[in-house]
Chains A and B, each alone.
Chain A
């Protein structure tokens, strides 16, 4: 039995006088003890909403949840708020994307760390402060006792994210959800933070649900990967299987759009055309069809189910998957080079993060995010 087992999760935003918006529908995945599972997709694909739903942090009104999310014998989606409050911070913790806005600007770092210690571990006063200093030290913040008295604006971006991580791991949670923990950071800092997360996961055996748009992060960290598009899993596989043989045209395109140093000079990048707004309803066919190079009429006639066209446990939601025989565009992409690149990235996170930061998706994200 997996630690977290998400089954047919659906999240619908309902508004008065507006059409319901299906943010996520029929998403299923498992996270085991000590495992790192990636949830990958571009902004707007429903990955952050999924994490908030698991934490019980979506507003009560205007949101309809469906499916189950089993954790520790309970369903996170239907659990009472008071039980969720007991779980949050102690069993499940979360790290957010923007460390500056995620920290309370008028409360010292120390208080923001000790409040979780006193809530879940009953530590008070000097004991709590000592433990908080220890935590800051553990996530690599120098001079922790002084930092405890400082405010978020006095810390650098990397420090802030470290402080947030310290809060998340304060009660040794069994599941850690990280929602784009490195997106708002400089590339060099990104690598350090990923290294830290990897360390913590390895030492504590914590399960990590990594939400990212950054394939470099996936390559460096994740055991299992779920690629999301428009609120549905379009491909799910082990890391190696995905990087060696991306089978859904979207996953295939994502990998193909990463610039590579070993590509011949003058060869153009292969971006995925259009944006996530060019989509159709999943009930009518494949939502990716408007951006797909190889869609057929079959793609547009009714819902597409997950299948295993290549090998067991490699699920793909596509009528015309990119298979070795039918491989037209991706012949040079799905070859061993990528797998090597992925391996190299896995060995050295800094490299991977570097590569990914150049990817169009990442670049687009950066210009979008107000600094």
Chain B
């Protein structure tokens, strides 16, 4: 008897040592790979710092970002700007306000623009994509028609350069931060809609959906409980990437003069746009907000790309 237990123990011991491991779920596996990815770690750190800045900015800023404390020293018409110095680490802007404080405080507004516009695009885009995808996969003939009408509309939106779409929306709504958020958000709608629909179509054609249908599962349940959850990973990746483009696009809108006219709330895009006028005399005024935007966008892009790689089933070993 003892040899038999010995045998089994020895076998268990050796099997455990063996290099082959059993598969783990998609998300657990993706998280593991994400943590191992240098890109994800760097991106995550940047985003983390950005979020901390956005939360704490107003408390740690040494000066009031709107106070024109050194009014006599800056004369834009004579090309006199004040660069870095003791009490003003990043110098003064064209209205003699402390640039460092404005950068710190501006992070919050910038993050807000990115998040709100992306969420807007995601919510509406995902809704349209779900309807279209569900109609196309399970709706039969009528569904196919609904899908093709929706997709025509989405294609039309895609046919417009995003910036112009945003410009026309902004022209309709007037100048404000809300306008920028809406404009940038609307631009993202067709991207999310197309992505989710495409992903759902791919899932809808798969064997497991056929199997659930054959089992008589109700269509609404198939869509909501099976197809949509399995189609989400590209959408999650795109959301992260969209946060980056939203911030950049908001800056471009500001440059075109459609941004937030409210000087009381600093925002990096507006700061960058306003400083362009003085670029030849005081380039650093533009460089600080630009660096802020670039680094932040890079953070979101790095994380998004790392997620794309982590979630790509083709790349899993």
Contact = CB atoms under 8 A, between A and B. Distances in A.
Interface in A1-54: 19, 21
Contact of A295 (B6, B7, B19): B7
Nearest to A275: B20
Contacts of A296: 7
B14 interface: yes
Contacts of A278: 15
Interface residues of A, number: 15
B267 to A, nearest CB: 43
A295 B18 contact: no
A295 to B, nearest CB: 7
A10 to B, nearest CB: 16
A300 interface: yes
Contact of B11 (A19, A277, A289): A289
B15 A297 contact: no
A295 B20 contact: no
B265 to A, nearest CB: 47
A285 B14 contact: yes
Contact of A280 (B3, B6, B18, B22): B18
B7 A280 contact: no
Contact of A290 (B3, B6, B15, B19): B15
Given A280-B17, A281-B17, A297-B6, A290 B11 contact: yes
A281 B10 CA distance: 13
Contacts of A297: 3, 6-7, 10
A329 B142 CA distance: 60
Contacts of A289: 11, 14
A300 B7 CA distance: 8
Interface in B1-54: 3, 6-7, 10-11, 14-15, 17-20, 22
A279 interface: yes
Contacts of A295: 7, 11
B21 to A, nearest CB: 8
A229 B7 CA distance: 21
Interface in A243-288: 277-281, 284-285
Interface of B: 3, 6-7, 10-11, 14-15, 17-20, 22
Interface of A: 19, 21, 277-281, 284-285, 289-290, 295-297, 300
26 contacts: A19-B19, A21-B19, A277-B20, A277-B22, A278-B15, A279-B15, A279-B18, A280-B14, A280-B18, A281-B14, A281-B17, A281-B19, A284-B14, A284-B17, A285-B14, A289-B11, A290-B11, A290-B15, A295-B7, A295-B11, A297-B6, A297-B7, A300-B7, A300-B10, A300-B11, A300-B14
